[in-house]
Structure 1
Amino acid sequence: MSAQRNSSTASRPRQGFNRPAPVRLRVGLIMRKGMDFGPLGDMETALRFDGVSLAPISTGDASLVSGGLTVLATATADDIASGRVKGVVVPGGAVDEAGVAQVKALLGLARAQGMPVLAFADGVALAAEAFGVAADAPGAVFQGGKVALINERAELSAVVATIS
């Protein structure tokens, strides 16, 4: 038996390799057709590494297909209203009237609940309009009438750490 353990060909578990971060909080990801996080890159993965579980929220049938895959919505506006999600993520995306109207309605609901809204790409402009503040950056966090700009990925972890 010890010969198997000492063998160079025996399989060994890789401790700590690609281990997911423990989930700290659940936020709603507003799905948009052609979702885009702008120059900051893949924010979905960055958020997951910071312990954020993303719950997709549909803004219509067109938003449910992402990269050729159908994504099932696991959260709704009721989750925002009841506090079952602790915030909302708004990526950039296609500008269709029905989808934008849904995004604005969800942003208004999040604002009314006092939830933080993390916006990226052209989602920043939509969130800024909903919160009545000015913001021009690749990413921003809106909460309580204030805005914190995100210009680099490293700033995201610090912002996410403040959400509870």
Structure 2
Amino acid sequence: MYAQRNTSTSPRPRQGFSRPAAVRLRMALIMRKGMDFGPLGDMETALRFDGVSLAPISTGDASLINGGVTVLATATGDDITSGRVKGVVLPGGEADEAGVAQAKALLKLAKAQGLPVLAFADGVALAAEAFGVAAEAPGAVFQGDKAALINERAELSAVVATIS
């Protein structure tokens, strides 16, 4: 019946629609004031398409407002130590003293638990300092005493595929 006439109520295929992958792991997202993923672009969406669920962790009241939207923190440092998250994501952001101190404390927890840390923009330098390794790139993965640089989205997907 719909094929006989072209009306505004006839079903239409959803062109260009792609669904994110099913969630396969949960990672903590360290919220920072003025959060930025640098030249790699919107890594939150990229991680979601790779099957990562992000659980925000607050580094202070100022970090909970992102782009005019208030974000509810759904994870804490206890989630890192208990193993409820499989890694930590550290974006770049403003270098306010209290927020940087809180981010460093969370990075130390992740390092002590052996969790991978995905850092972006100026978060790379902060994570490199916390892990005691040298790294300079738009993104990097830190785990143990090693760092792997991320220069493009395909490299991020390859790294996320190895996290379990």
TM-score by length of 1: 0.94
2:58 corresponding residue in structure 1: 58
1:132 aligns with 2:120: no
The equivalences for 1:1-164 within 5 A come to: 3-4=1-2, 7-9=5-7, 10-14=10-14, 17-164=17-164
1:133 alignment partner AA = V
Cα offset, 1:8, TM superposition: 3.6
CA distance in 2, matches of 1:8, 1:148: 54
- Is the partner of 1:54 in helix, strand or coil? strand
Structure 1 residue ranges (4+ consecutive) displaced by more than 6 angstroms after TM superposition? none
TM-score by length of 2: 0.94
Cα offset, 1:6, TM superposition: 5.2
- Is the partner of 1:45 in helix, strand or coil? helix
Against the structure 1 CA distance between its residues 6 and 50, is the aligned structure 2 distance closer, same or farther, given a 3 Å change threshold? farther
- Is the partner of 2:72 in helix, strand or coil? coil
2:25 alignment partner AA = L
Cα offset, 1:154, TM superposition: 1.6
Consecutive unaligned residues of structure 2, counting only runs of 5 or more, are none
CA distance in 2, matches of 1:72, 1:60: 12
Percent identical among aligned pairs is 83
Tell whether the 8 Å contact from 2:20 to 2:50 is kept in structure 1 after alignment.
no
1:145 alignment partner AA = D
Query: How many residues in Structure 1 have an aligned counterpart in Structure 2?
Result: 162
Against the structure 1 CA distance between its residues 7 and 22, is the aligned structure 2 distance closer, same or farther, given a 3 Å change threshold? farther
Cα offset, 1:26, TM superposition: 0.5
**Alignment RMSD (CA, Å):** 1.4
Deviations 1:121-147 (A, max 9, x none): 110011101111000101000012111
Cα offset, 1:41, TM superposition: 0.7
